[in-house]
């Protein structure tokens, strides 16, 4: 019999880190007004036992219950909060968060592999993020990055993703053959709820920016994962195909789909049915973003909203071979360093 696929969840964050992390961050934020209060990195003390407990009683427990094998794990997205403080603040914070994720991946190498947050800061040249990116790939063995297209936290004053502003990051991504998940952080604009509006808006915005530009002509091997099922784009795919046509762009299959991928963080069956019907199966990666924005149980199904494997299993749009792609095959292709790490483990 054929081996069952490895279930790779390409979108998980360390949302359950010990409270000491948040306390340290709060002190760091307080110190922006009073630098004499600046906490030392060494003031943050989290033991391996605390990390083990944070993972074993949360993400790993649910992974085992739901039957997923491995999570691409990154720092908590809403805590990145790149809009807070200056580059130095973001830089120290990113280093701490990335190291914690690295420690989790060392403690649970069978179940977690890392992706990095970047020390982005509004108005600061993205090339300042390169040293942290390099450390995360070379020293920590991380296999991807999260790139925030709006480090202002909801005010959208950075150039679009197709602008040369971002090219230093893309050049490194190509050099290391790592993809980026396009992922915003907390909204500090009261008009946009962080996970309900800002996240989904950003996913949709990223896709439209990529349609308007010609980024993948300059970077034919660059790869982006658009999370949360691609925001509104799959639902409105006809609009985006039509807009691309008006703009005299190539077909989206040529213009975008060699380079962008959608995750399955859509929290109900009709959403996954639509995604798998509209978007080619080669462009869909399994993910749950568990434990994340939506933690409750759906009274209609009796299951957790973010138990997305149920929907992928149940959709009539995928056969066994296509499910293999969504669970494992596509992730290995989009994250070659993940594939290499798995092969080293004999998986």
CB of 135 to Zn ion, least distance (A): 22
Q: Which is nearer to Zn ion, 77 or 137 (CB)?
A: 77
CB of 45 to Zn ion, least distance (A): 27
CB of 287 to Zn ion, least distance (A): 8
Binding span for Zn ion by CB under 5 A among 43-51, 75-83, 120-128, 316-324: 75-83
Binding span for Zn ion by CB under 5 A among 77-85, 106-114, 120-128, 238-246: 77-85
* Sequence-separated (6 or more) residues with CB below 8 Å from residue 4: none
* Sequence-separated (6 or more) residues with CB below 8 Å from residue 63: 9, 69, 71, 111, 290
3 state DSSP class of 174: helix
Q: Which is nearer to Zn ion, 77 or 222 (CB)?
A: 77
CB of 267 to Zn ion, least distance (A): 13
* Alpha carbons 188 and 173: distance in angstroms, whole number: 28
Q: Which residue is nearest to Zn ion (CB)?
A: 77
Binding span for Zn ion by CB under 5 A among 20-28, 69-77, 171-179, 230-238: 69-77
Classify burial at 189, counting beta carbons within 10 Å of its beta carbon; exposed 0-12, middle 13-18, buried 19 or more.
middle
Q: How many CB atoms lie within 10 A of CB 138?
A: 10
Per CB under 5 A, contacts with Zn ion among 97-126 are none
Per CB under 5 A, contacts with Zn ion among 260-289 are 289
Q: Which is nearer to Zn ion, 150 or 289 (CB)?
A: 289
**77 binds Zn ion, rule: CB under 5 A:** yes
- Reading the block at residue 204, the tokens are 């949709």
Number of residues that bind Zn ion (CB under 5 A): 2
Per CB under 5 A, contacts with Zn ion among 131-190 are none
Q: Which is nearer to Zn ion, 222 or 290 (CB)?
A: 290
* Alpha carbons 300 and 316: distance in angstroms, whole number: 19
Question: In the chain, which residue ranges form alpha helices assigned H by DSSP?
Answer: 19-30, 48-56, 59-66, 77-80, 87-107, 130-138, 167-176, 199-212, 215-218, 237-246, 252-255, 269-278, 309-314, 320-324, 330-334, 336-344
Q: Which is nearer to Zn ion, 77 or 206 (CB)?
A: 77
134, 289, 300, 320: the catalytic one is 289
CB 155 within 8 A of CB 38: no
Q: Which is nearer to Zn ion, 308 or 322 (CB)?
A: 308
Q: Which residues pair with 12 in a beta bridge?
A: 73
**200 binds Zn ion, rule: CB under 5 A:** no
Per CB under 5 A, contacts with Zn ion among 288-307 are 289
CB of 88 to Zn ion, least distance (A): 25
Angstrom CA distances, 216 to 212, 224, 252, 254, 275, stand at: 11, 11, 12, 10, 23
Q: Which is nearer to Zn ion, 51 or 184 (CB)?
A: 184
* Alpha carbons 116 and 88: distance in angstroms, whole number: 17
CB of 78 to Zn ion, least distance (A): 8
Please confirm, yes or no, whether 56 is among the known catalytic residues: no
CA geometry: angle at 63 spanning 82 and 111, to 5°?
A: 75
CB of 263 to Zn ion, least distance (A): 9
DSSP letters for 36-91: GGPPPGGG----HHHHHHHHHTTHHHHHHHHT--EEEEEE-HHHH-TTSS-HHHHH
> Would you tell me which residues interact with Zn ion (CB under 5 A)?
77, 289
Active site residues: 289
């Amino acid at each position: 019999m054929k081996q069952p696929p490895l279930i790779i969840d390409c979108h998980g964050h360390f949302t359950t880190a010990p409270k000491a992390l948040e306390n340290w961050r709060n002190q760091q934020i307080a110190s922006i007004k009073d630098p004499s209060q600046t906490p030392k990195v060494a003031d943050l003390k989290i033991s391996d036992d605390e990390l083990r407990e944070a993972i074993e009683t949360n993400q790993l427990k649910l992974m085992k219950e739901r039957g997923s094998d491995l999570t691409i794990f990154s720092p908590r997205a809403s805590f990145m909060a790149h809009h807070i403080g200056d580059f130095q603040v973001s830089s120290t914070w990113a280093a701490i968060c990335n190291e914690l994720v690295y420690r989790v991946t060392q403690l649970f190498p069978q179940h977690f592999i890392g992706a990095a947050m970047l020390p982005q800061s509004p108005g600061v040249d993205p090339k300042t993020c390169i040293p942290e990116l390099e450390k995360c790939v070379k020293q920590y063995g991380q296999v991807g990055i999260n790139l925030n297209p709006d480090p202002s936290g909801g005010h959208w004053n950075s150039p679009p993703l197709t602008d040369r502003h971002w090219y230093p990051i893309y050049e490194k991504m190509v050099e290391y053959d790592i993809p980026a998940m396009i992922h915003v952080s907390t909204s500090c604009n009261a008009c946009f709820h962080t996970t309900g509006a800002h996240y989904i808006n950003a996913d949709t915005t990223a896709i439209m920016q990529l349609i308007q530009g010609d980024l993948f002509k300059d970077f034919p091997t660059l790869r982006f994962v658009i999370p949360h099922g691609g925001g509104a784009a799959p639902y409105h795919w006809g609009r985006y195909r039509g807009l691309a046509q008006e703009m005299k762009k190539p077909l989206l299959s040529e213009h975008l789909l060699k380079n962008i991928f959608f995750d399955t963080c859509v929290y109900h069956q009709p959403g996954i049915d639509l995604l798998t019907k509209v978007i080619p199966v080669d462009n869909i990666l399994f993910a749950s973003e568990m434990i994340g924005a939506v933690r409750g149980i759906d009274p209609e199904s009796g299951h957790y909203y973010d138990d997305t494997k149920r929907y992928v299993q149940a959709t009539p749009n995928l056969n066994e071979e296509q499910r293999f792609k969504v669970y494992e095959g596509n992730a290995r292709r989009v994250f070659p360093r993940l594939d290499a790490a798995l092969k080293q483990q004999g998986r």
